[in-house]
Structure formats: C-alpha cells, structure tokens
Amino acid sequence: MNNLSEQFNNPQSSQQFQSGQPMQNQSVTAHSSASREIEEVKGAIFLAKQFPRNMFEAQNRILDNCKRPALAASSMYSYPKGGTKVTGPSIRLAEVLARNWGNLSYGIKELEQRDGESVAMAYCWDLETNVRQEKVFTVKHSIYRKQGGPKLLLDPRDIYEKVANDGARRLRACILGVIPGDIVDLAVEECTKTLAGQNEGPLKERIVKALTFFKEKHGVTQEMIEVRFGYNASSFSEFDLVQLTNIRNSLKDGMSTVEDWFSKEEAKKVDGGLATEFEKSQEQPKTEVKSDAPNQNPIEQPELPLE
C-alpha cells in the first residue's frame, strides 16, 4: 500500500504508469537502438577497408552510365542569371556518381518535425577516407505561389515531398563535395557527347530549326521562348534543346497548350532586337549562334521544371 501511494505521489512514477512502460525499459530500448546503429557503421567501415574501390573501374562505370541518353538528358540543371545561365550537375547525375564511385554512405534524414517546419540533414560520407559532408537545414511546411501567397501543407505526403525536394539540392552539394572534381567533369563531358551524338547537324542549326518550328506551327516567338527559359537563345545548349523537344511533344500529343508554357504579355517587355536576330537566323540557317561562357561556379538551384 505504501509503495502504491509513493508511486501516485511521485510524478515520475505516475508517468511510468501512464505510459505502460517503465522508464528503465525505455532507456534500455534507446541504448539498444544506438548500439545497433554503431555496429552497422563499424561493419560498413570494415567492409570498405577490406574491399577498397578500384578508381579505374569506378571511373569506367560512371562513364558507361553517362552514355545512356535518358541520364544524359537530365544530367544538368540550368538557372537564369543576368541574361545568361548558370549550369551544373543535377541530383540525378550526382546519384549515379555516388552509386558507381562506391563505399559511400549518403542520404537525407528528417531529424525533427515541429509545428509548421521540419529540421533535416543531407549527408555524404566516404567510408574509405572518412571524408564527410553534411548540411542541416530547415524546411517550412508551405509552398510559395506567384498568386495567392504561401500555401500551407497539411498532408503528410506533401510535407514528405517538400522535405525530399529541398533536401535533394543539399544532397547533391554533399556528393559533389566528396567525389573528386575531375571525375565530375569527365561525367559532364561524357553526357554532353551522348546528347550531341543523338542528333544530326550542329547544335546552332538545330536550335534555329526549333525556333522556326515553334513560330510557324504554334505562333510562339523567340522572345516568348527566351522569357520561358530566362536567358537569350544564344546561350541555349543541348539540354535546352531537349526541353524544347519535350514541350513540342507535349503540344503535339495534346497534353498541354501553348498558354501553359509561354506568356505573350511577358514577351512584349523583351527588347525587340531579339526578333531581328531570329529573322537573320531564318535567312542564314548555317550561321552559328555564339554561346555565352558558362559560369564556372554554379550555385545550388533546381533544374527548370517542364510540367
């Protein structure tokens, strides 16, 4: 009777009764879970030391994957800035690099979820060299719209997708911070070769043909296309041409309309000199469109959506 009275008078004992599980058992469970995670990490490190990567084979695997057209088409992101564009390896290419480089532990973890926001961590750890990159960030449970202001996310699936989407950019930066830069450059170069080998004729001529097609078939001017991409047609690359092709296929199949992709009102604000360049390109299809020099320090930005 005295013991029962002490438990009701002691808040800690009362909490143990309410939870149905003694605090001692909870502590044992937490300790067991932590010990299991430590043993898993030790095992991964031991295997990485026992079976170190063959850098020559890893490089060949990466280059072989970059010869796949589907990967090459999504291997780069682009971001408009000051009339030109900033480009860099996409998260899809970074994942291929990590898988084929070997002995890497990488991913995104949600550390905490509070009211209206989540705290997450993106990381990449080279188990051989013990080089680790990690980024802790906060994700608001809302999305910003051009009209109507922010929209709160209440569905757990929407929150999960928002955390995963924001974490993808941090994960890409972590992976690219661990894998040697020369390997990344070789992968990007191989993806460019893959895209170039799929098409006939120089890139500049194919861009002119694409611009001509959109104007003749859909009444879409060069200004409207440049507003959509955020930079001048003279800066277009193989990846931009792939995006134009995807838009053309969507219009052809009736999955979208011209208004879904291009804005006539915004195009009217663009300098009319671009139209003159377009007309000259039609008259002289063999004239090369000079490409602006790409930024050598691409920032972390998402790839332009094609939805």
Per-residue pLDDT tens for 191-236? 988 888 765 567 788 889 899 999 998 899 999 898 888 888 888 8
One domain for residues 181 and 236? no
Report the pLDDT value the prediction gives residue 250, as an integer from 0 to 100.
86
Structure tokens given for 56: 């020559």
Report the pLDDT value the prediction gives residue 38, as an integer from 0 to 100.
81
One domain for residues 136 and 215? no
Quote the number of domains for the chain: 2
The predicted model scores a pTM of 0.63
Confidence of residue 5 (pLDDT cuts 50, 70, 90): very low
CA atoms within 13 A on the CB side of 98: 24
Q: What is the overall mean pLDDT for the chain?
A: 79
Structure tokens given for 138: 């906060």
Ranges 93-107, 136-150, 263-277, 292-306, most confident: 93-107
Structure tokens given for 152: 């709160």
Residue among 192, 285, 274 nearest 240 (CA): 192
- In this predicted model, what pLDDT tens digit does every residue of 49-78 receive, in sequence order? 888 899 999 999 999 899 888 888 889 888
In a domain, 23, yes or no: no
- pLDDT of 278 over the 60 cut: no
Least confident of 57-66, 146-155, 207-216, 267-276: 267-276
Report the pLDDT value the prediction gives residue 199, as an integer from 0 to 100.
55
Report the pLDDT value the prediction gives residue 21, as an integer from 0 to 100.
53
Report the pLDDT value the prediction gives residue 269, as an integer from 0 to 100.
56
One domain for residues 217 and 181? no
What is the span of the domain harbouring residue 88?
A: 50-189
In a domain, 224, yes or no: yes
Q: For residue 122, what are the contacts with CB-CB under 8 A and spacing of at least 6? A: 107, 108, 134, 135, 137, 167, 170, 171, 173, 174
One domain for residues 86 and 212? no
In a domain, 45, yes or no: no
The predicted model gives 41-52 an average pLDDT of 84
One domain for residues 180 and 209? no
- In this predicted model, what pLDDT tens digit does every residue of 81-113 receive, in sequence order? 777 788 889 999 999 999 999 999 999 999 999
Residue among 73, 117, 82 nearest 303 (CA): 73
One domain for residues 247 and 164? no
C-beta atoms surrounding 272 within 10 Å? 8
In a domain, 127, yes or no: yes
In a domain, 44, yes or no: no
Structure tokens given for 81: 């800035």
One domain for residues 268 and 244? yes
One domain for residues 216 and 86? no
Confidence of residue 137 (pLDDT cuts 50, 70, 90): very high
In a domain, 151, yes or no: yes
Last residue of a domain, one of 163, 189, 215: 189
Quick one: 218 exposed, middle or buried, by C-beta within 10 A (0-12, 13-18, 19+)? middle
Task: Look at 290 and 242; give whichever has higher pLDDT.
Answer: 242
In a domain, 32, yes or no: no
One domain for residues 227 and 250? yes
One domain for residues 74 and 171? yes
One domain for residues 55 and 183? yes
